[in-house]
């Protein structure tokens, strides 16, 4: 085999392979870092009540309310998108996409909670989480494949008997 | 009167907790259509290879949603409302690389 043919072989096979391996390594590192960060921040707000009720529980008295939101756009790496594309041929569970949605949802809810805390609210009621696909990936796995996660709810300040 | 980032009360519940609704004015809406900025798009394209948060897009959507909400607030105020209840957000992509953000709710007057 001539050196040109070897070069062509490397260029056609080696480069995509390197890209897959490289993005897998970096992507996984970013994902792990994000999960660690999420766990730390979640531990701080664990006591904060988030409710999906439309109205207040019967014995609660609120004196002010306002909308709180949190949103994030997250995408996954090239390798995981590639695996997902392969998976979609045979069908079944796409494991590589699950952490993406999990991360995005937890991040959005955390941002909403942090905003509520910053505004001095005691709880958030009627919490809703919405997902929208920002843009679709092309069949070859290129193009943006981000999801946008939006969490919103009504932050409330409780009327406490001792403070009134 | 106002709590938070906007000049009137916004909630996504059917009432304003702790207050009573005295008058209904009907639907208040606000929308905005935004396209991605090419520089951001290139950065996002690179970021998309390794995954992670696309900060440019996160900010773009936050700003756009805020603008849609502000337009809804203006409309509600022009009707004489001091709150918008049962507020909803909607997103739809109108063209390649452009999205419409829509905010709507019921304009009301609370005590």
**Which has more pLDDT, B34 or A153?**
A153
Question: Percent of chain A scored above 90 by pLDDT?
Answer: 46
Read off the CATH number of the domain in which B68 is found.
Answer: 3.30.110.70
Closest approach of A29 to chain B, Cα-based (Å):
9
Domain assignment present for B80: yes
Closest CA relative to residue A116, chosen from B57, B67, B3, B99: B3
DSSP string, A38-100: HHHHHHHTTTS-B---SS--TT--EEEEEEEEEEEEEE--HHHHHHHHHHHHH-S--GGGHHH
Q: Which of A24, A38, A64, A159 to probe by mutation at the B interface, max B CB count within 10 Å?
A: A64
Please, which pLDDT band fits residue A137 given cuts at 50, 70 and 90? very low
Chain B residues lying within 8 Å of A69, measured CB to CB: 65
Q: Quote the ipTM score.
A: 0.87
A85/B contact by beta carbon, under 8 A: no
Looking at CA atoms only, how far is residue B83 from chain A in angstroms? Answer: 10
pLDDT exceeds cutoff 90 at A17? no
CB contact under 8 A, B50 and A72: no
SS3 A155: strand
The phi, psi pair for B65, rounded to 5°, reads: -65, -35
**Residue B40 lies in domain:** 9-110
Contact in structure between B8 and B2 (CB atoms under 8 Å): yes
Candidate CATH numbers 3.40.309.10, 3.40.50.620, 3.30.110.70, 3.90.1150.10; the one for domain A3-158: 3.30.110.70
Closest residue by Cα to residue A66 from B80, B23, B7, B79: B7
From the CA of B43, how many Å to the nearest CA of chain A? Answer: 11
Confidence of residue A54 (pLDDT cuts 50, 70, 90): confident
Structural domain includes residue B63? yes
Q: What are the angstrom distances between the C-alpha of A42 and each of A24, A36, A51, A117, A152?
A: 26, 10, 16, 13, 17
Cα within 13 Å of Cα(B24), Cβ side: 8
How many domains in chain B? 1
The one-digit pLDDT tens for each residue of chain B (111 residues) are 455 678 899 999 998 988 899 999 999 999 999 877 666 677 777 777 888 888 888 888 899 999 999 999 999 999 999 999 999 999 887 777 677 899 999 999 998
Residue B1 domain-assigned? no
The predicted structure's pLDDT at residue B5:
75
B17 touches chain A (CB under 8 A): yes
Residue B4 maps to a domain: no
Query: What pLDDT is stored for residue A145 in this prediction?
Result: 63
- The pLDDT score that the predictor gives to residue B22 is 95
| Chain centroid offset of residue A82 CA | 19
Could you tell me which residue, A135 or B98, shows the higher pLDDT?
A: B98
Task: Judge whether B14 is closer than 8 Å to chain A, CB to CB.
Answer: yes
């Amino acid at each position: 085999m001539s050196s040109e043919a070897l070069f062509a072989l490397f260029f056609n096979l080696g480069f995509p392979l390197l890209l897959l391996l490289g993005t897998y390594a970096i992507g996984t590192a970013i994902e792990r870092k994000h999960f660690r960060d999420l766990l730390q921040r979640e531990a701080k707000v664990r006591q904060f009540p988030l409710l999906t009720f439309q109205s207040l529980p019967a014995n609660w008295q609120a004196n002010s309310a306002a909308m709180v939101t949190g949103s994030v756009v997250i995408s996954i790496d090239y390798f995981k998108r590639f695996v997902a594309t392969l998976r979609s041929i045979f069908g079944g569970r796409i494991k590589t996409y699950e952490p993406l949605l999990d991360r995005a949802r937890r991040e959005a809810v955390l941002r909403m909670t942090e905003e509520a805390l910053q505004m001095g609210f005691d709880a958030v009621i009627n919490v809703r989480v919405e997902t929208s696909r920002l843009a679709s990936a092309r069949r070859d796995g290129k193009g943006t494949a981000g999801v946008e996660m939006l969490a919103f709810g009504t932050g409330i300040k409780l009327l406490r008997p001792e403070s009134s | 009167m106002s709590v938070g980032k906007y000049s009137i009360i916004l909630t996504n519940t059917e009432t304003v907790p702790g207050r009573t609704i005295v008058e209904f004015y009907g639907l208040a809406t606000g929308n905005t259509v935004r396209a991605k900025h090419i520089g951001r798009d290139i950065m996002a394209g690179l970021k998309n290879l390794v995954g992670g948060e696309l900060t440019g897009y996160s900010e773009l959507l936050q700003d756009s949603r805020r603008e849609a909400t502000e337009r809804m607030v203006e409309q509600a105020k022009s009707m004489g409302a001091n709150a918008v209840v049962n507020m909803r957000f909607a997103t739809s992509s109108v063209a390649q690389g452009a999205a419409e953000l829509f905010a709507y709710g019921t304009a009301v007057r609370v005590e």
